[in-house]
Amino acid sequence: MRLAALLAAAAVALAAPGFAKDAPPTERDPIEQARSVKLANELRCLVCQNQSIAESNAELAVDLRRQIDEQIGAGKSDREIVDFMVARYGDFVLYRPPLKATTLLLWGGPLLLLAIGTLVGWRVLRGRQAKTDERPLTDEERGEAERLLAAARANREGA
């Protein structure tokens, strides 16, 4: 019985190399996988917006990763894949969108916000300084303040 099992195993082992060429690969090509990861890290998840499609688990990100894999399998270049994504989803899908009229706000927005914040801060500080530059009280105002203080003291002592 053991001898028959051993012979059967040997026959399968000897015949296996002939069948190996027909077997589908179990893992992807490491170069294609590296390209897929690189491209997925360069593209923004349109659902999450602060994650790449490589980091996101959103359904759209999974679909985009699948599209990248399909296009790599079809022999497309990285540039062709990125161009396809931009044509389909717009420049916002890129973490580094090109500088052009439609993306000017994306590039200049942070500088614009910094300038507005600086201007607002400067005006607030200037307004505070103007409030601290108080003028001295007039004789009439001083007399009114003394009268109010005297009335407050009398109320405390009487209570």
Residue 18 pLDDT:
45
Residue 82 pLDDT:
92
Joined tokens for residue 120: 């607002």
CA gap 77, 44 in Å, rounded: 19
CA gap 51, 28 in Å, rounded: 25
Residue 20 pLDDT:
41
Joined tokens for residue 140: 């009439």
CA gap 146, 9 in Å, rounded: 112
Please count the residues of the chain: 159
What are the residue boundaries of the structural domains of the chain, listed by start? Answer: 26-98, 100-133
CA gap 23, 30 in Å, rounded: 18
CA gap 27, 24 in Å, rounded: 9
Using 50 as the pLDDT threshold, list the residues of the chain that sit under it.
Answer: 6, 12, 14-26
Residue 68 pLDDT:
93
Q: Are 73 and 60 in contact (CB under 8 A)?
A: no
Residues 6+ positions from 5 with CB-CB distance below 8 Å: none
Q: What is the CATH number of domain 26-98?
A: 1.10.8.640
Q: Are 39 and 77 in contact (CB under 8 A)?
A: no
Residue 19 pLDDT:
43
Amino acid letter for position 145:
A
Joined tokens for residue 71: 């296009």
Residue 2 pLDDT:
58
Joined tokens for residue 116: 């507005």
Selection from 92, 90, 91, 70 nearest residue 81 by Cα: 70
